Amino acid sequence: MDYKKKVEAWLASDEVSKELKSEIRAASDKEQYDMFYTELAFGTGGMRGVLGPGSNRMNIFTIKKVTVGFAKFIIKTYGEEGKKKGVVISHDNRHFSREFTLEASKVLNDFGINTFIFDALRPTPELSYAVRYLGAAGGIMITASHNPKEYNGYKVYDHTGCQLVPDQIQPLLDIIDTLGDELTLTYKPVADLGKQVTLGKEVDDAFLKKVHSVSINKDDKKVIKVVFTPQHGTSSVLGRRLLEELGYEFYPVLEQCTPDPDFSNTKSPNPEMPEAYEKAIELAKAKKADLIVTTDPDADRVGIAFLDSKGEYQLYTGNQTGALLIDYVLGERAKRGLLKPNSVLCDTIVTSTLGEKIAAHYGCSSRSFLTGFKYIGEAMNKADTTHEFTFEFGYEESYGYIFAPFCRDKDSLESLLVIAEMTNHYLLKENKRLDQKLEELYLQYGYHINKLYNMYFKGAEGAQTMKKILNDLRTKPFTSLAGVKVCKYEDYLKKEIHIGDKIEPLIGFPESDVLRFFLEDGSWLAVRPSGTEPKCKFYYEAVDSFREKAENKPDNFHKDLLKYIGL
């Protein structure tokens, strides 16, 4: 249907609220086109988009449509048993998150599927755990993660508490494609409606008990002070409860502990952004804290700042924190003889190779997956069922970590515990700060400096621009960058490895629009469109035995690449 006809249909419908109609009328022709020209799609993190009217927006109609599809998927996949086992639904603090939760629950109940909803907002990892704890057939998380306040999103989980991977999600997408227009979609509720059950403290207690189980040096005397902020999100209650139970002297950033959908007291809810730490650093300076921990709104990711050896507060990237955690966790497990001959570290293709080198030092092999923690969750499932390997640790560069297989998504609560314990342990036992420990790793394995550059391309034109960037790089790949030769590149869409004039198959990955180039000096870069935002991501890792050389390389690589592709 032409987008203008869709606009007219929405404006004429009695089902569309006055508020949504007002937004349509107030929009420019270009904005209306973006609202209606396409449908929201599932990316690496599910369906995520700007709130508002239209098929390309998050609203009650798009929520209803995808939930009808998920209901049919549950019944087709799990049958009558799936209806009884039901679906767990959780949500974050965003605008309409509760309304979307209740709408999803109603639709599922109408199809005879039981639902379990929390009495208030809860973290994504707890949703994943709850699916497993309750033996449910699936899960839904209403969240836009770290996106700005204008966004919301919808993630779906299978019976293992893992987000659906491409092979699983395609049947769901096929079902959704048959449903037609979201505005006129109707269905007849079954006679035997599903029941809606409200969850509360029982699941919280069980989840936190599992979180406590990842502790290694739990009997260490607590010598550090911790500042904690949930960025107005879902870890506010459980994060503070966890730190209290662990026995740390901690200080919450109280003005960021309210579930505010407008994120009024933070410049950014994204742990990757320095401005997310401003209020926390102010409080840390006042309290002379040793560690700052912030989670994103749905509490699957975590970022840190800390008091370094020079007495200043320093932020670390997901890769830097990951390297420290791998060395601490695997090192401490190795001391206790807990590592197995088939122990495996799971990461992604855009994560630093430093973690893999540290893991190898402890006799732990590594497996890399496409971006999206669902692939690591799928690997955890495989380890459980085939016993082919033992899962030890999973992480990705975008600040997500998991230490034990009791849930199937990255977990900021586990991460909060281990990061605090690690910081405390090194200060107590070695009188060392985190920057001193990371420097030791750099001296042992080489300096690994990672940088991510985001370029935004909004709207329909932006999507075409991103597609062209990747296609141009495939058609005419560069052979050197900033004077460093390319030794090979991997094309995850064509599933090919190019080494000079030779082409080999790229095995073990689903198709994905990603290119990764390897340079002769050990550095690498990757280019991919974001699966959740209108931007193209450029990842770089520079490796060198000298810090200054390594630190200068990513900027030089990026400038040369932009020049090559004409941006």
Work out the burial of residue 552: count CB atoms within 10 Å of its CB; fewer than 13 is exposed, 13-18 middle, 19 or more buried. middle
The token pair at 189 is: 């509720």
**In angstroms, rounded to a whole number, what is the distance separating the alpha carbons of residues 138 and 87?**
5
CB 165 within 8 A of CB 113: no
User: Which residue spans within 106-193 are E strands per DSSP?
Assistant: 115-118, 138-142, 151-157
Q: Is 74 helix (H, G, I), strand (E, B) or coil?
A: helix
What are the DSSP calls for 287-345, one per residue? HT-SEEEEE-TTSS-EEEEEE-TTS-EEEE-HHHHHHHHHHHHHHHHHHTT---TTEEE
**In angstroms, rounded to a whole number, what is the distance separating the alpha carbons of residues 141 and 157?**
8
Alpha-carbon distances of 10 from 4, 6, 36, 54, 85, rounded to whole Å: 10, 6, 10, 8, 36
Q: Which residues are catalytic?
A: 145
Helix 166-177 and helix 60-85, axial crossing angle in degrees, nearest 10: 120
Nearest to 113 by CA among 73, 55, 143, 172: 73
CB 492 within 8 A of CB 509: yes
Nearest to 234 by CA among 121, 125, 339: 121
Helix 412-430 and helix 124-134, axial crossing angle in degrees, nearest 10: 110
Work out the burial of residue 119: count CB atoms within 10 Å of its CB; fewer than 13 is exposed, 13-18 middle, 19 or more buried. exposed
Q: Is 477 helix (H, G, I), strand (E, B) or coil?
A: coil
* Close Cβ partners of 89 (under 8 Å, ≥ 6 residues apart): 101, 104, 105, 115, 116, 117, 118, 127, 139, 140, 141, 142
Q: Cβ–Cβ contacts within 10 Å for residue 480, how many?
A: 12
* Close Cβ partners of 255 (under 8 Å, ≥ 6 residues apart): 265, 279
The token pair at 356 is: 């893999």
Which residues are bridge partners to 251 per DSSP?
A: 227
CB 58 within 8 A of CB 149: no
Nearest to 281 by CA among 309, 259, 251, 318: 251
Q: Residues of 194-207 as b/e, b for ≥16 C-beta within 10 angstroms?
A: bebeebeeebbebb
- DSSP summary character for residue 511: -
**In angstroms, rounded to a whole number, what is the distance separating the alpha carbons of residues 136 and 340?**
31
**In angstroms, rounded to a whole number, what is the distance separating the alpha carbons of residues 84 and 88?**
12
